[in-house]
Chain A
């Protein structure tokens, strides 16, 4: 596929108004591992012919990590810039691959002056699968067993447990659950700005505890839908020396793989 990434400012110059903004997020833009997820998801968007654009170099942190770390001032500085950009392009619908960005836009941006439809990529994919607009070949992960780790900001924070599971189930692969799943799920350890600092002293890393639980299910793929969870669980798999036989994939990557994208 040869993709020309649509950029908001280019489209505006051509007087075009795309239906969706794909909010790539800082992890999608800069994290080596999550860049692959952004690429996979972009390929799916093109495969489906979705009318979307990204902000590109006009995208900036929406302030969430600063806010969770107590820096309300910095959050509002970022938020006011982002809201201004959204207003400039008259953004009404956002798709994002990051549950933290999703939560901030959906629940907290109305307080700072922007409201609209905010869609996590799991919800976006699930809806298209349900409407039969996205047909997923089901012969690629046949040998695998998949376990899904609930991101806190998708699950407990926003009550979305089914969408990512339905997306995985479209692959018709064996899917198992960890003992602590859905609203009982254990955090990966990266939320609340923990991603950017060392953990406090304790007797175990949270990601190790969660990875052990995931590995105990005998799954060969630990599926996630969050950049922070991906970093933590990838570390956990490495820590257990299981990189050879266990993969950590985002649901977007699994769908892109299945579609041969």
Chain B
């Protein structure tokens, strides 16, 4: 009974803390702009199955991809076991789902095997980080805190897996002939420990591991939203909420379109478009909810930046930085906006104080970043929205681009060539 009370109290604290975090983020989301209506649920489910659960895009980098996929799939089955632990903890039962028989055996058995696989994968990740010089783990946008974040997450997962195996080994030794579920790895390991371990010791191993495991999960869940590993929660929804259009599509600005139509023909009937405070994106509250979700889902893996032609050739643009900056800026300005309303300003902005014009103008919109992102973050559309602000609100395009605009306005071509010469190419065909 004491165990149940303690467990319930810890669970309550965990849930309250988590709810507080989510409420804070929900308020930030309320500050953002509309993106697109979420339709085509069937298509989205198929996409989620392929990209999230099937890990299809992570395999574009086969080595790291394989280990990530193993950790991901491991987490899925292990989480099922964790749900049982919560029920057991609340009701004072032991392996309450055991009645499921063969289904239980499969879930718990694969959880046991995956605990070992995840443990090995995490060791591989730590070794890669410590000993290999991996370029995409570096960059101006990767501050010390991000690196520390990575090691904290890896270490916690490592101990989660050790405690899960410890729990299973203790359980197997303790119950010997009367085991619920199957434990391929733990039973094999128990073979080594059992002769040297008394029932008492096995019971202690089980209890300690059980508590360590569940408390680590609770701590992990509450640290994640404040680190780049929030990814664990947000990436599956982020894939489900992907943009479904071809990568080449740039969302239309209906308000600008309507304004132009009225300019050409004052009698034109145009749909009423929402009043916007400004065209394009200057600061955190100008982005749409998908941009902000993208920033929360990004785990800073750097695949986008590694394939960016501008970044490869030494330009300042790093697609990853755009989203790290957005997240940081919302964290900085969001609370003020929530408290004081839309008019709040701290005399800073996402544009210029975080992201420079030089970065934005270096983008070729080649979409290599969006293609590469394992969780379907779309970088170019946000970069374009910031260009839209620069051009339409500040007329701050580079001089050569202003020339190009003038040419299009005057001659209908980006070059200074006369409309009347449009057929010269065909002479003497």
Q: Do A and B interact?
A: yes
Binding site for B on A (CB under 8 A): 1-3, 5, 24, 26, 28-31, 35, 38-39, 42-43, 54, 56-57, 59-61, 63, 65-74, 76-78, 80, 103, 107-108, 111-112, 152-153, 156-159, 183-187, 189-206, 208-210
Q: How far is the CB of B210 from chain A (nearest CB, A)?
A: 46
Q: Does B278 contact A (CB under 8 A)?
A: no
What are 27 sample pairs from A and B whose C-beta atoms fall under 8 A apart?
Answer: A5-B423, A28-B425, A29-B413, A54-B426, A56-B422, A57-B423, A67-B250, A69-B401, A70-B387, A74-B405, A77-B264, A107-B246, A107-B248, A156-B247, A184-B368, A186-B368, A191-B365, A192-B363, A192-B366, A198-B400, A199-B362, A200-B361, A201-B358, A202-B314, A203-B313, A203-B314, A206-B310
B309 touches A209 (CB 8 A): yes
A68/B384 contact (C-beta < 8 A), A74-B409, A76-B257, A202-B313 known: yes
Contact among B245, B364, B429 for A5, CB-based, below 8 A = B429
Residue of A nearest to B395 (CB): A71
Q: Which residues of the other chain, B, contact A193 by a CB distance below 8 angstroms?
A: 401, 404
Interface string of B168-191 (1 = CB under 8 A from A): 000000000000000000000000
A156 touches B366 (CB 8 A): yes
B252 touches A108 (CB 8 A): yes
Q: Which residues of the other chain, A, contact B370 by a CB distance below 8 angstroms?
A: 156
Interface string of B356-399 (1 = CB under 8 A from A): 00100111111110110000000010001001111110000110
B364 touches A73 (CB 8 A): no
Residue of A nearest to B361 (CB): A200
Interface string of B234-266 (1 = CB under 8 A from A): 000000000001111110110011011100100
B260 touches A57 (CB 8 A): no
Contact among B368, B400, B426 for A39, CB-based, below 8 A = B426
B246 touches A206 (CB 8 A): no
Bound Cα distance from A57 to B425, whole angstroms: 12
Residue of A nearest to B414 (CB): A65
Contact among B253, B368, B419 for A72, CB-based, below 8 A = B253
B307 touches A71 (CB 8 A): no
Q: Which residues of the other chain, A, contact B307 by a CB distance below 8 angstroms?
A: 184, 186
Q: Which residues of the other chain, B, contact A112 by a CB distance below 8 angstroms?
A: 252, 257
18 additional A-B residue pairs with CB within 8 Å, beyond A30-B422, A73-B259:
A3-B426, A5-B423, A29-B413, A61-B408, A63-B408, A74-B409, A77-B264, A80-B260, A107-B246, A152-B367, A156-B248, A156-B366, A183-B371, A196-B400, A196-B403, A200-B310, A200-B362, A205-B313
Bound Cα distance from A56 to B207, whole angstroms: 82
A156 touches B368 (CB 8 A): yes
A29 touches B425 (CB 8 A): yes
Q: How far is the CB of A33 from chain B (nearest CB, A)?
A: 11
Q: How far is the CB of A175 from chain B (nearest CB, A)?
A: 23
Bound Cα distance from A192 to B363, whole angstroms: 7
Q: How far is the CB of A105 from chain B (nearest CB, A)?
A: 11
Q: Which residues of the other chain, B, contact A76 by a CB distance below 8 angstroms?
A: 256-257, 260-261
Instruction: Across the A-B interface, give the 9 residue pairs with the lowest CB-CB distance, nearest first.
Output: A157-B248, A70-B387, A192-B365, A60-B412, A203-B314, A187-B366, A202-B314, A70-B391, A111-B252
Q: Which residues of the other chain, B, contact A203 by a CB distance below 8 angstroms?
A: 313-314
Residue of B nearest to A195 (CB): B414
Q: How far is the CB of B39 from chain A (nearest CB, A)?
A: 16
Residue of A nearest to B356 (CB): A200
B313 touches A196 (CB 8 A): no
Q: Does B44 contact A (CB under 8 A)?
A: no
Q: How far is the CB of B427 from chain A (nearest CB, A)?
A: 9
A57/B309 contact (C-beta < 8 A), A71-B392, A196-B401, A197-B400 known: no
Residue of B nearest to A204 (CB): B313
A60/B419 contact (C-beta < 8 A), A29-B425, A112-B257 known: yes
Contact among A28, A59, A152, A158 for B364, CB-based, below 8 A = A152
A196/B414 contact (C-beta < 8 A), A3-B429, A71-B391, A184-B307 known: yes
Q: Does B89 contact A (CB under 8 A)?
A: no
Q: Which residues of the other chain, A, contact B230 by a CB distance below 8 angstroms?
A: none
Q: Which residues of the other chain, B, contact A39 by a CB distance below 8 angstroms?
A: 425-426, 429
Question: Residue among A38, A70, A153 with the most chain B CB within 10 A?
Answer: A70
B429 touches A197 (CB 8 A): no
A72 touches B248 (CB 8 A): no
